[in-house]
Structures are given as structure tokens and as C-alpha cells.
Chains A and B, each alone.
Chain A
Amino acid sequence: MADSEGSSVDRRGFLKGLAASAATPAALHAQDHDHQDVPSDLTLRVKALESLLVEKGLVDPAALDALVDTMENKVGPRNGARVVARAWVDPAYKKRLLENAPAAIAELGYTSGQGEHMVVVENGPKVHNLIVCTLCSCYPWPVLGLPPVWYKSAPYRSRAVIDPRGILREFGTEVAEDVEVCVWDSTAELRYIVLPERPPGTENMTEEELAALVTRDAMVGVARVAPPSGAVA
């Protein structure tokens, strides 16, 4: 069944088809529901779809279980935190990470879809980086897992590029006026991750202890990495 794309379909026809399909009962039906109010019948609809696709041999329930398990248990911001901690303690690794992020991240064993072309952008005293995807939900899966709802939401996507400092303030992150806020809009297949600044008071911490300080939000750029409790900032 592979490779049977309809290359002869012209764009007008294709778009018309798409529009017609998208306006059929599926989409219209959903108009009954309020935003973020999970429709009770979606559970049933999705169950019916899965059972149909399984019956047709198009999906394998074990494969679906594995995909869900990967995202729930194996991939997530702890991966990214280890990358950041390694970069903080190993200058040679940091250099490789900034020059060729996919290779450096793979050194720690993290590879999978949506992250082949990761780019690491480094925060410093004069620049604060912020990641967004204004057009959809692009996010560096291998190091951060699937994005949180707020990252995919209209408020974040609309405002991160026009009012990044306002967004940062909402997250409790104040960036001084003489520091550049540098926003990265993930419009292509590049996936960005922020290398946050190592907080003060962490000089004697091990790589593992450092990794425990690094948050998802810091790697998206909406927050800084907070000093360990008890440290003098």
C-alpha cells in the first residue's frame, strides 16, 4: 500500500477535497462543544476508529501502546535536562552541542522523530532566547517530549513574537532592558532548545544534581533555572 500518493491530483481539486472532507460530519459535529471541554463522545469515537483500523490491519494495538508508552515514560524534559547539565560541566561537549546539536544529543542516547535537526541556542548575560511555533506545535520531542497545552495554545503562539517580554513576565521572568530577547519561530523542520544559564551557587554540584535543577520551561526559554534552595543568588 506504500507510495501510492495521488501525484496527479491538481491543487484546486486537492484543496476542494480537503475542504469538503474537513467540513463533513466530523468537524461539524465538534461545533457542539466548548473549547477545552473534552467531549464525552470523543472517547467512543476514537475507540470506534481504533477498532476499525485494527480490523482492517492498518494499525496494531501493540504498536499504539508502544508509541504512547514512549511519550509517557521514555521521552521527556529529563532528557533535555541531562543534555544541559552535561554542557554546563563539560566545555568540549557544550562546543559540540552548539555546533551540531543532533550529534551531541545522540551521544547521550536521545534520538527519535521530530528532533533530527535540533539547534541549541545559548542564553547569556546579553541574550535571552525563547522558542515558539506560531503556525502549529513544533517542539524538540527527543529532548523535551510532547509539548504542554500552553505551548500549543493561541495565547502563547500569538504573543510570543509580538510581546515576548509580556509572555516572560507572565511566567515570572523579568529580562532587563539591555538584554536582547531573541525569539525563535520554528517554521521549518529545525527544532530549537534553549541552553539556560547555569545558576549561581551550583559550583560544587554534580552533573546529576545539576540536571535535577533544569526545567522544561527553562529549555523553552520562558523561565530561568532557579538556584538550588538555600544557595545565595
Chain B
Amino acid sequence: MNGVHDMGGQHGMGLVQYEKNEPVFHARWEGRVYAMTRSMRAFRRWSIDTDRHWLEILPPVDYLRMTYYERWAMRLEAQVVKYGFATQEEVESGKAAPGSVKATPALTLATSSRWVNRGIASSHEPGVPPLFAVGESVRARNIHPIGHTRLPRYARGKTGIVARDHGVYVFPDTNAHFQGEKRQHVYSVRFSARELWGQSASPLDSVHIDMWDDYLERV
């Protein structure tokens, strides 16, 4: 979706605010939100792609105004309701309704650690051939999916060169919406800064963007 999260190239966002000796979490609740979010993935009701899309559909004004873990907190509250772990009333009260469903067995440290240490689903699969070769010129498709996508707007319609083939990965555009993994190759595609931003950009500079087969077409 053409959301506010797709920030590459936007103007007006101001200077980088740098904090010296920044703590990992700025308040206890941030750490709890981080840990609960990771822990709830153990149930495998949704993927990391779905997780990312939940943040993208936050109303733009909220997305920009909220802190990072505030977005995560809103997402987690919404997810536990959406995927049937709790009702809205339970989330608001913080108490389980009498007779409501509970996890059996309860999640333990061992279970969630096992999950947390698991890799991201992807691999080198000889059965999935690459559609493009290293060194080949490719164009990022000019597409505007309304759902989740990892094809940033600033690259669409631009021509680059396949720099590396990273092997086979789950396709986020379908996986985020429970429409299958549609595994395919991912490449680092090198775009010159001038191709992306015009003649005022440095003639030497470049941006590498990771692209799935479905984002690319032959030039």
C-alpha cells in the first residue's frame, strides 16, 4: 500500500534526533511490549509480514505521532482481539472473562525460547529457479498493491542492475495476507542515485534495494 510508512525520499521530516548513550528500552513497558510481541509469535497465527502490515495500516497521523513501541502496543492489542486470543472487553479490563478460552498448555519459557531462536523462513531451494541473473538490467515494476508490499515507491519504474542473488524467500505480498508463501528469489538490485533522483544526485552514488522476482521485469 502507498502508506506513510514508505518513507524513502520524502521531504519535510526534519533533522535526525540523536540521543547519546541511548538505553535499549526507554521505559519498562517498552520492553514488555517488545517481549510480548515476540512471544505471541510462538502461536504462529500470523507471520512477520502480517505483523509489518498491521503497522502500515495505522492511520497516518497516528503512525507519525506515535513512538515506535507505542505502535507495537496498539498492534498487539488489536492482534490479540483480531485473532481470537481475547475480546476487546478483556483487553480493556485486563481480566479474562469467566469461562474464556485459555492456552493449554500455557506458554513457557522453553517454548517461547525455542520459537524466538528459530530462523526466518527462507532458504536456498534448488527447486525454485531464479528469473534474473546477476549483471542483468531489470526494471522495478510500476505497481501499486493496496495490501502489504516491500517494493518501495521511490524504486517503482526505475531501472537497475542485479548485483547479488540472495536465494529463495517467502513473498511478503501474499504471505502477509494468508495467501501462501509463493517462494521466489530475492536479489540486491543496484540503482544509480541519478536514476532514482535525477541529475542533481551524485554521479557515483547508488542505492541497493532487495527485490523479489515478482517486483521485477526485464528491460
Cβ–Cβ < 8 Å partners of A34 in chain B: 65
Q: How far is the CA of A152 from the CA of B187 in the complex (A)?
A: 24
Q: Does A208 contact B (CB under 8 A)?
A: no
8 Å CB contact of A24 from B57, B85, B88: B88
Q: Does A38 contact B (CB under 8 A)?
A: yes
Q: Does A55 contact B (CB under 8 A)?
A: yes
Task: Kindly report which residue of chain A lies nearest to residue B121, judged by CB atoms.
Answer: A189
Q: How far is the CA of A56 from the CA of B202 in the complex (A)?
A: 56
Nearest chain B CB to A128 CB, angstrom units: 9
Nearest chain A CB to B24 CB, angstrom units: 5
Cβ–Cβ < 8 Å partners of B206 in chain A: 180-183
Q: How far is the CA of A47 from the CA of B30 in the complex (A)?
A: 11
Cβ–Cβ < 8 Å partners of B39 in chain A: 59-60, 63-64, 67
B67 touches A117 (CB 8 A): no
A184 touches B208 (CB 8 A): yes
B96 touches A56 (CB 8 A): yes
Q: Does B199 contact A (CB under 8 A)?
A: no
Proximity string of chain A (27-60) to chain B, C-beta cutoff 8 Å, 1 when within and 0 when not: 1001101111011001101111111110111111
8 Å CB contact of B32 from A3, A68, A111: A68
Within 8 A of B (CB), among A147-167: 148-150, 152-162, 164-165, 167
Nearest chain A CB to B148 CB, angstrom units: 9
Task: Kindly report which residue of chain A lies nearest to residue B82, judged by CB atoms.
Answer: A21
Cβ–Cβ < 8 Å partners of A134 in chain B: 6-8, 152, 154
Q: How far is the CA of A148 from the CA of B100 in the complex (A)?
A: 39
Give residues in A with beta carbon < 8 Å to B. Answer: 1-7, 9, 11, 14-15, 17-19, 21-27, 30-31, 33-36, 38-39, 42-43, 45-53, 55-60, 62-68, 71-72, 76, 111-114, 116-117, 119, 134-137, 145-146, 148-150, 152-162, 164-165, 167, 170-171, 177-190
Would you give 19 A-B contacts (Cβ < 8 Å), ordered by A?
A: A25-B92, A30-B74, A35-B67, A38-B27, A38-B70, A42-B70, A47-B94, A48-B94, A56-B101, A57-B103, A58-B85, A58-B103, A68-B34, A113-B117, A149-B26, A155-B14, A155-B15, A161-B154, A189-B169
